[in-house]
Structure 1
Amino acid sequence: MRSSSIRRSAATGALAAAMLLAVTACSSTGSTESAATVAPQVPVASPTNPAGGLAVAQNAKLATSVVTDANGWVLYRFDKDTSAPPASNCIDTCATTWPPEPAASDTQIKGVDANLVGSVKRADGTLQATLGGWPLYRYSGDKTAGDTNGQTVGGVWFVSAPDGTKAGVTASASPTQ
């Protein structure tokens, strides 16, 4: 009986050690890109929580139509990405500030031409939604749905128009749509 008890204690100890190792490995942040793929617990309506859809909304501040997620959070495009072929170049800390809009096979689309909606595989293996070939992002600096605080940040971030071009930007200020 004593031998059985020792084996059970050893097995329990090994299991506890394995669980501790797994938890420690999961909390390692070797790269911001990896950490960004594990969604923290956040309120349902936030710029870092995927909403599962694309919609068109009128934005009074920009005086034009813009693309939002299903909860009304404005989506952006990044001039350092490419649309043909689609490629996302916002990784690591960039993807923390500008969380990629996840692509899903069941994405609900309201007011956006379904032929313009697609996806691109990111360096971390996740799929990101695209519009007109441009990868879509949310902005962590937007505090409420409808905010456009990311518009023109660094001269390379722009709210997405329903056709994937830059919303609220005049042709003279934006030579590369």
Structure 2
Amino acid sequence: MPIATSAARSGRRHAVLAVAALTAALALTTGCGSGHTAAGTDPVQPAGQGTPDYGTGYGSTKGGGYSAPDTPQAGTQQPGDVGVFAHPRLGKILVDRMGRTLYRFNKDSAWPMKFGCTGPCLDTWKPAEPADRARLNGVAPRLVSTVTRPDGTRQLAVGCWPVYWFTGDEQPGDVNGQGRMGLWFAVSQDGKKVTKTANGTESPVVTPSPAG
């Protein structure tokens, strides 16, 4: 009996070490902490937590606003899950495969992982779908990862930050969400937030309180 108990304890230790090693490997791969997975991998989710389908793009039956262009827009590279758009005033910003500008939210947090956009906020700001690292154009793969929201939804993250698209953007490359409430900002090619306004001036930046 003592031998069996010792073997069981040894098995548990090995399992814990394996999980820790996997977590560390993911952190090194993505450059982010726990809660992130490398783009193109499938995170393990608790049973019963499905992934809501927000549709694949503009013009979809799940609330998209317009049809994707048949040809790349001027200033963009060939379509990919995440690409670069050369905005005349904001510079090189990231867009999804439908040309929608990707934004980050100041009330979110990359470390520790925190989602500030929940409830009614998600009616206006839609979590961007996860990307495949094999389908990136002009974006460093190390910047792209996937996070799992509290409801089980998988979301694209850039530079460890969850990113969204804005329902108020009506055409590919629109930046109508830029600087909204001093909290929403387009994402630059290097994964940082762009603080300029659509007019090229600096946007006021609101720093959320620790309480959120």
TM range (shorter): 0.5 to 0.7
Q: Distance in 1 between matches of 2:130 and 2:143?
A: 13
Alignment-mate amino acid for residue 140 of structure 1: T
| TM-score in terms of structure 2 length | 0.56
| TM-score in terms of structure 1 length | 0.66
Residue 53 (structure 1) aligned to one of 81, 95, 98: 81
Q: 1:139 to 1:175 in 2, by over 3 A?
A: closer
Q: Displacement, 1:70?
A: 1.5
Q: Distance in 2 between matches of 1:107 and 1:140?
A: 27
**Residue equivalent to 1:134:** 161
Alignment-mate amino acid for residue 57 of structure 1: F
Residue 102 (structure 1) aligned to one of 129, 142, 146: 129
**Residue equivalent to 1:124:** 151
Q: 1:56 to 1:128 in 2, by over 3 A?
A: same
Q: Distance in 1 between matches of 2:158 and 2:98?
A: 18
Count of aligned positions: 137
Residue 93 (structure 1) aligned to one of 120, 127, 141: 120
Q: 1:60 to 1:113 in 2, by over 3 A?
A: same
Q: Distance in 1 between matches of 2:160 and 2:128?
A: 13
Give structure 1 regions of 4+ aligned residues with deviation exceeding 2 angstroms: 36-40, 42-46, 85-89, 104-107, 168-176
Q: Distance in 2 between matches of 1:72 and 1:38?
A: 16
Q: Displacement, 1:38?
A: 5.2
Alignment-mate amino acid for residue 102 of structure 1: E
Could you tell me which runs of 5 or more consecutive residues in structure 1 were left unpaired when the two chains were aligned.
1-33
Larger Rg: 1
Q: Distance in 2 between matches of 1:100 and 1:140?
A: 11
CA contact (8 A) 1:97 1:139 kept: yes
Q: 1:85 to 1:151 in 2, by over 3 A?
A: same
- The alignment yields a C-alpha RMSD, in angstroms, of 2.8
CA contact (8 A) 2:80 2:136 kept: no
Q: 1:103 to 1:150 in 2, by over 3 A?
A: same
**Residue equivalent to 2:4:** none
SS where residue 167 of structure 1 aligns? Answer: coil
